[in-house]
Amino acid sequence: MWKRLDFKKILGIVAAISGAAILILSMPSWIWMMALGGFLIWFGWILFTTNR
C-alpha cells in the first residue's frame, strides 16, 4: 500500500489546500465573493455557449 502512495503528491495537495485556506481567511470577504461571482459568471457562460 505504501508503494502506491506518492508522498510528494500528498504534500503538494496539503500545501495547496492550506495556502488557499490562508488566502481566503486573510482576504476581506468582498474580494473573494467578487472572485467567486466572476467564476460563476464565466462558468455559466461556458456552459451556455458549449454545444454538447
pLDDT, residue 42, reads 92
Q: Report the amino acid identity of residue 17.
A: I
Residues of the chain with pLDDT under 50: none
- pTM over 0.75, yes/no: no
- The domain segmentation of the chain, as residue ranges, is 7-49
